[in-house]
Amino acid sequence: MRRRNGVAVPRTRRLHRLTRASFAALPHALTTAAASATSTSQQFIAYGGQALVDGVLMRGPTHIGVALRTPEGEIATAHEPLPSSELRTKAVALPLARGILVLWETLTIGAHWLMRSADVAAGDEEPATVSSRIAIVGMLFATLLVAIIGFNVVPAVIAGILTGLVGGTPLLVERALDGVLQVCVLLGYLALVGRSGDIDRTYRYHGAEHRAIHTLENEQALTRQNLARYPTAHPRCGTEFLVVVILVSIVFFSLVGRLDMIGTIISRIIGIPLVAGIAYEVLRLLGRYRTNIVARALAAPGIAVQRITTRKPDDAMHDVAIVALTVALHANGAAAPAGSERPTSRSLGSL
């Protein structure tokens, strides 16, 4: 049991809330990776973000900044450096390897702060116990496994069965059907979970995060009024990454060839990291030609999907996004644009 304002809060309710949030966060949790992939020489392009449970995480070149809304209505903040080592420095210089590395870092950092934000939302700012951490990490790994099976393996198996019934279907047609099914499963799932009140709030924080980044990229002061001028969708959202992953998987698994059901399942689970690494490199390439008509066309589906995964935030959510981005800017040795608002905040108890 945890205590919230002196009242015991069942751990199962906290874990249930975190489970739903982690499933909903998977598509846009990759925003920070997409931001890294499409970064240019302009400093502000390096900033990406992720919605948390009643909070926002912002990632810069070397540090992240976090702002969380507590049950008392306060904004609690924290920042921490990104992983750094000689081995990592060498890995990020290697094509494919850097994509897998950045994605792994994004997922682990995002999972950690999803756990922390769930604790804070439950009224507990102290780190979870060892047993609680093991249970939550296990739940998150299970979430990721279910996501891979549900969004990638199952569509591939169904596409194989359907084309097998027809007979004589070209492999590329089977893979195209696989891609269509992946999109349908993803859109259906996102729309379904968005009906939950908790996930609706996560989607609204997602919109606030995007608006803050839009404002920074346009070199305007981080204020409620300025944030409200921008759309909740952003071309560097993780949903764009997912679109590229689907397109790459169609080509990649077509090259692998037609397999039986067991082979298909194994190849999808093993091949996903490689497909993600290739997709990361494609995003880097598209980032260099962001205004190109082809790049814009590839970004369009991701923008369209964000009509589901982002919603209009209120001013209190704008404040959280402003604080998170300001903390990230300061942690990375930069400053918020002149005239930016400074919503009242305090440091989070413990990391």
Q: How many domains does the chain have?
A: 1
Instruction: Return d(Cα 223, Cα 209) in angstroms, integer.
Output: 13
| 322 domain residue, yes or no | yes
DSSP label of 82: P
Run means of pLDDT, 10 residues per run, the chain, 351 residues: 43 52 54 55 63 92 93 94 77 78 80 83 72 66 78 89 84 89 86 80 93 93 97 81 82 85 87 86 75 76 83 96 96 94 86 48
For residue 76, tell me if it sits in a domain.
Answer: yes
Q: What stretch of H or E contains 291?
A: none
Q: What amino acid is encoded at 338 in this protein?
A: A
In a domain, 228, yes or no: yes
Tell me the three state secondary structure of residue 61: coil
Q: What range does the domain containing 231 cover?
A: 10-347
pLDDT given at position 128: 60
Phi and psi, residue 294, nearest 5°: -70, -45
2 within some domain: no
Give just the sign of the alpha carbon dihedral 192, 198, 204, 205.
negative
Give the separation between CA 100 and CA 274, rounded to whole angstroms: 7
Residue 324, pLDDT score: 97
Q: How much is the pLDDT for 329?
A: 95
Residue 48: phi, psi to the nearest 5?
-130, 180
Asked if residue 5 belongs to a domain, the reply is no
Residues constituting the chain:
351
78 membership: H or E segment, kind and range: strand 75-81
- Answer whether residue 27 is part of any domain: yes
| Reported pTM | 0.81
Any idea what the Cα angle at residue 43 is, between residues 68 and 113, rounded to 5°?
25
pLDDT at 142: 75
Domain assignment present for residue 4? The answer is no
Q: Please tell me the distance from the alpha carbon of residue 33 to that of residue 211, in angstroms, as a whole number.
A: 18
pLDDT of residue 84: 77
Q: Does any domain span residue 1?
A: no
pLDDT at 61: 84
